[in-house]
Amino acid sequence: MHRRLVLAYAVVLVSGAALAGGAAWAVFRGGAGGGCGVVGSSSQDAARAVTESFLRDVLVRAKPSCSSELATRRLVGRLAGVPLYRTRYPLVAYRFARADSRRTQAVFVVAQPPDGGLQLDAFNVPVTILSVGLAAPDVGLAGYRVTLRLQHGRWRVDRVLRVAV
C-alpha cells in the first residue's frame, strides 16, 4: 500500500514538472512558430497579420530571429539589404494607438488595394502586395511595399521595398 502511494505521488510530481516545463517553454520560446506571429492560413487577413508581425519582429528588430519563420528563403538571404526601421518607441498599429497614452508610441498602418491585391505570379503561385506606413518621433516617416507569397498553405514575406513618403 505504501509503495502505491509513493508511486502515485511520483507520477503526480513528474506530470506537474512536465506541465510546468511545457508552459515555461511556451512562454520563453514563444510556443508554436517561436512566437513570431506565424499564421497558418491563406486568407487576406492572414497576409495582413504576417505583414504586421514582420514589421514588429524583423523591420523594427524586436525579434530578428523571426525572419526565417515569416519570410521566404530568398528574402532571408537578402535581408541585410532591406533598410530597417529602428525606433526606440513601442510599435503600435494605428487602429490601437491612443492620443492620451502616457507613453510615446511609434505607429504603423498596413493597407491593401481595394480589390484585395491578390495576383498569380509566373508560376501560378498566389502573391499579394501590401503597403505599409510607419511614423515615429525619433526616426520620422517610412513607407514599404511588401510582397507576400503563399508557401505551403501560409503567407510569407517575399520582397520588401522601401518607398519614398
Structural domain spans, the chain: 37-163
For the segment 102-153, what is each residue's pLDDT rounded down to a tens digit? 888 999 999 988 887 889 988 899 999 999 999 999 999 999 999 999 998 8
- Closest Cα partner for 128 from 137, 119, 136, 138? 119
pLDDT averaged over the chain?
80
In CATH, which of 3.10.450, 2.20.28, 3.40.50, 3.90.1200 is domain 37-163? 3.10.450
What's the rounded Cα separation, in Å, for the pair 79 and 67? 8
Helix (H) or strand (E) holding 16: helix 2-29
Residue 20 half-sphere exposure, CB side, CA atoms within 13 Å?
6
User: Does the pTM exceed 0.85?
Assistant: no
Enclosing H/E stretch for 133: strand 126-136
Tell me the percentage of the chain whose pLDDT exceeds 70: 79
